[in-house]
């Protein structure tokens, strides 16, 4: 039996990870990630297209959230240590580590 708390954490984290950047982009709140990093990218700059990897990462986070939420998904040793397992925190934790420039 998988813990309900962890399932909820993973799903909420995945939702937060995807909704915060969307909300920021829609409301244009403050500086965008690109504007933020353009002020200091003279030391090491990454080509803009490299950040397209976020599409794949979002699909992965969504997949993880859905998989975790499915009733058929059984307890996973990959996540079993505790409801507060770091993996459940991560998608939300990185909602910000979004495309820089």
Partner 1 sequence: MSGCGFWIAAAALNAQRATVAIIASSALLLVFAMLRAPRNPSRAQYWFIVLPMSLLAGWLTIATAVNALTVLTMTSIITPADATLAALIGIAVTAVFAALVALRARNAAYLLPILWGLAGAYVEESQRNDPVANGLVVAFAVLALLVIVIVIRQFGARTNRVAALQGLASAQNTLCALRSTVASPATSRE
Binding residues (CB under 8 A) for partner 1: these are 9, 12-13, 16-17, 20-21, 24, 29-33, 36-37, 39-47, 49-51, 53-54, 56-57, 59-61, 63-64, 67-68, 73, 76-79, 81, 85-87, 89-98, 100
Task: For residues 7 and 35, give the distance between their C-alpha atoms in angstroms, rounded to a whole number.
Answer: 35
φ/ψ of residue 41, rounded to 5: -95, 20
Query: Token pair 């959230």 is at which residue?
Result: 65
Q: How far apart are CA 69 and CA 88, in angstroms?
A: 12
Output the smallest distance, CB 4 to partner 1, in A.
Answer: 16
Instruction: Give min distance, CB of 6 to partner 1, in A.
Output: 12
């Amino acid at each position: 039996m998988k813990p309900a708390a962890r399932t909820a954490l993973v799903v909420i984290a995945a939702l937060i990870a995807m909704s915060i950047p969307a909300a920021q982009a829609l409301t244009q709140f403050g500086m965008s990630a690109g504007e933020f990093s353009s002020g200091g990218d003279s030391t090491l700059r990454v080509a803009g297209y490299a950040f397209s990897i976020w599409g794949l990462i979002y699909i992965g986070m969504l997949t993880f959230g859905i998989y975790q939420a499915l009733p058929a998904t059984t307890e996973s040793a990959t996540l079993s240590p505790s409801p507060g397992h770091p993996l459940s925190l991560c998608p939300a934790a990185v909602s910000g580590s979004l495309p820089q420039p």
